[in-house]
Structure 1
Amino acid sequence: MRLLTLGGTEFVGRAVTDAALKRGWEVTVFHRGRHAPPPGVTALTGDRTTGAPGLAALAEDGREWDLVVDTWSGAPAAVRDAARLLSGRAGHFSYVSSRSVYAYPAAAGLDEDGPLVAGASPDDGDVPYDRAKRGGELAALDAFGDRALLARAGLIIGPGENIGRLPWWLNRIARGGPVIAPGVPGTELQYIDARDLAGWLLDAAARGLHGAYNTVSRPGHATMGELLAACVAATGSDAELRWTDADILRAAGAEPWSDLPIWLPPGELYDTLHRGGHTKAHAAGLRCRPVGETVADTWSWLRALGGTAPWRPDRPAVGLAPELEAKLLAL
């Protein structure tokens, strides 16, 4: 198979590229040159945010591909321009979208037929994430029709994460001592390891699957308690998890998801992010590895980097501030 990854040097794009290389596929990476491309790929450089001029290297390259994978999360013009350029040169287009495209609040168990947000126009500039992702979906469908696959992921974690959620928990727990653990240990989580998402994308494209799929684990694939216990085990830390009621956390000013990454208390947002429908993708072969493996591999990757994970500058920093943690531990 001949794969073109639009991106391909960070997190999900890198996981896709690595998975394809392991399969012996011929891989081309089109990226902005901010990070070194993986060994073994053909690299093309350009900036999609500048429109057609930034796609010159891609336009001038005469090759064709069996599959394109696009992870773009900004204004949908970048998806539109690349998809139009490639529609006659690629057999299949997989767009890594998001379950954020469903109208909020998304009911627990909502499947791919649920109501959607309005997609941003490709000509819009700075738009909210949910509308940008839906706009990207529409652009992919417009260019590729039933040759387009929309992978609506939720929370994505694993080695290479450049958002900082699981890396924050690992680094904090590695420091040891008492650690604020939010809510109750049995809170069920829904997520996907980037490597499981990447493998499924390649399998699905090779089979010619198209349309929308919620690419997430089943709800409760792991619990918050199992995730944090896996962090303790992976780091070998003496950390003491102090489970703290959600009302106490909120009263002290600690915000779910941002201050305490991954965790959400029960409610509409929890149902939207941790209880999405998953059966279609699993029936199509999606398999999710145990949480302990994801956590251990992420810790190994972090240690190789000296503990400092890469961070996307377009995303806010996450994690509980030390002074707020001290305030909570003193309660």
Structure 2
Amino acid sequence: MLGGTGFVGRAIAQAAAGRGWQVTVFHRGRHEPPPGMARVLHGDRRADGGLAALEGGEWDAVVDTWSGAADAVRASARRLAEGGCAERYAYISSRSVYAGPVAAGLDETGPVVAASVEDTAEETAGDYAREKRGGELAACESFGDRALLVRAGLILGPGEDVGRLPWWLLRMARGGAVPAPGPRELPVQYIDVRDLAEWVLDALPAGLSGPYNLVSPPGHTTMGGFLEACARVTGGGAELHWRSPESVLASGAEPWTGLPVWLPPGADYDHMHRGDVSKALAAGLRCRPVGETVEDTWEWLRQLGGEAPLRPDRSPKGLDAETEARLLAMPG
């Protein structure tokens, strides 16, 4: 695992160890690695000599969750490929790599954003789509048809450090009237981080390569199913007050950030919640029920004392009290 101490990397490392695999974690040493690792290596691939700890190692597969500029992926993939250190390379990418506007039902053959393996942090300046596409190119440059590109959608589940599902859970736990962005039957797509981990770990020994959209199938759940599960498991007596997309937007509530997960019907919604995942389903993707994801995330939050971690490069999510009151006052 390149990384392995954050949300997605930790879930994959833990799942691999749970299978009895010998797992090596390479990271900067800023956080504790998951328990059960066979080996822990320290280094910073953005620094001169930062990959020295990988010298002489041999691995059946590498999983890389890097979210920054492509030059870091290029450095690690090149070192591991040229040294004969690894057989396969899985890069956890994103469905954000597709060039907009993204039509509903787009599969892996859709057009992608422009990027380069030589992109640096100064050049991309936090352009997430370009960074992820550059990472894909860097993985393929060194590993070719031995590179697996996991184009994940919205990722939720225990350990989430972005703040989407945790915000909804903590808000529901406070109880009272909660504005619910509708319509209630609006389908949403996401992937439980544990389902992502299991699929990746099945795909590597199976020799899968190239891009795969990885998110739940259309119709897996709805905004109603998602928010009602949040209200139910927290037991706070929250009362959902459904509001139309028009009312939500008129209130000034921000889709996706102010109201995590939710997007109004339109181009952005089609991109995020109407993706084609038939290729991954045919390759064995299994998605657990939304209630299980929500319940297990709530249990994890309770173990933390009700305070969710947040990555320093991610902004806080959720509504402030004034915007919430304004939205509640809007017509349904």
Q: 1:146-184: CA deviations, max 9, x gaps?
A: 110000001000001110000000000000000010021
Alignment of 1:23-62 (within 5 A): 23-41=19-37, 42-50=39-47, 52-59=48-55, 62=56
Q: Which residue of 1 aligns with 2:17?
A: 21
1:67 to 2:61 alignment: yes
Equivalent position to 1:96, from 92, 99, 105: 92
Aligned-pair CA distance for 1:321: 1.0
The 1-side partners of 2:158 and 2:176 are apart by 25
Tell me the amino acid that sits aligned with residue 7 of structure 1.
G
Alignment match, 2:130? 131
One-letter amino acid of the counterpart of residue 80, structure 1: R
> How big is each residue's C-alpha offset from its partner over 1:106-139, in whole Å with a ceiling of 9 and x where there is no partner?
1111111111111144242241100110000000
Amino acid aligned to 1:189: V
Superposition deviation, residue 327 in structure 1? 2.2
Q: Counterparts in 2 of 1:145-160, with a 5 A limit?
A: 145-160=144-159
Q: Which amino acid aligns with 1:23?
A: R
Q: Is 2:70–2:138's contact at 8 Å kept on the other side of the alignment?
A: yes
Aligned to 2:80: 86
Aligned residue among 102, 111, 117 for 2:113: 117
* Alignment partners' CA distance in 2, 1:306 and 1:49: 35
- Partner SS state of residue 86, structure 2: coil
Query: How far 1:48 moved relative to its partner?
Result: 2.3
Q: Distance in 1 between matches of 2:68 and 2:120?
A: 10
User: 1:274 aligns to what?
Assistant: 273
30-39 vs 145-154, which moves further: 30-39
Unmatched tracts of structure 2, length 5 or more:
none
Deviates more, 1:272-281 or 1:244-253: 244-253
Q: Structure 2 counterpart of 1:19, which letter? A: A
Residue pairs, 1:276-295, within 5 angstroms: 276-295=275-294
- Distance across 1 between alignment mates of 2:59 and 2:253: 48
**Distance in 1 between residues matched to 2:314 and 2:89, nearest whole Å:** 26
Tell me, in whole angstroms, the C-alpha distance in 1 between the residues paired with 2:257 and 2:222. 18
Alignment of 1:246-265 (within 5 A): 246-265=245-264
How far apart in 2 are the matches of 1:32 and 1:150? 24
Which residue does 1:231 correspond to in 2?
Answer: 230
Larger deviation, residues 147-156 vs 315-324: 315-324
CA distance in 1, matches of 2:70, 2:119: 8
Q: Tell me by how many angstroms 1:56 deviates.
A: 2.0
- Separation of aligned partners in 2, 1:98 and 1:123: 17
Secondary structure at the aligned position of 1:240 is classed as strand
Q: Secondary structure at the match of 2:207?
A: coil
Report the CA distance between 1:330 and its aligned residue: 3.4
Q: Which stretches of structure 1, 4 residues or longer, exceed 6 Å deviation after superposition?
A: none
Cα contact 2:7–2:160 (8 A) shared by 1:
yes
Structure 1 SS opposite 2:40? strand
1:105 maps to 2:101: yes
Give matches, 1:291-330, under 5 Å: 291-330=290-329
- Give the Cα separation in 1 of the matches to 2:196 and 2:262: 21
**Equivalence for 1:76:** 70
Aligned-partner Cα distance in 2 for 1:322–1:86: 50
Partner Cα distance (2:23, 2:287) in 1: 25
| 1:186 aligned partner | 185
Deviations 1:272-324 (A, max 9, x none): 00001100000000110000000000000011111111111111111111121
**CA RMSD between the two structures:** 1.0
Whole-Å separation in 2 of the counterparts to 1:49 and 1:310: 25
Gapped runs of 5+ residues in structure 1? Answer: none
| One-letter identity of the residue aligned with 2:187 | E
Could you tell me which residue of structure 1 aligns to residue 204 of structure 2?
205
2:178–2:240 contact (8 Å) kept in structure 1: yes
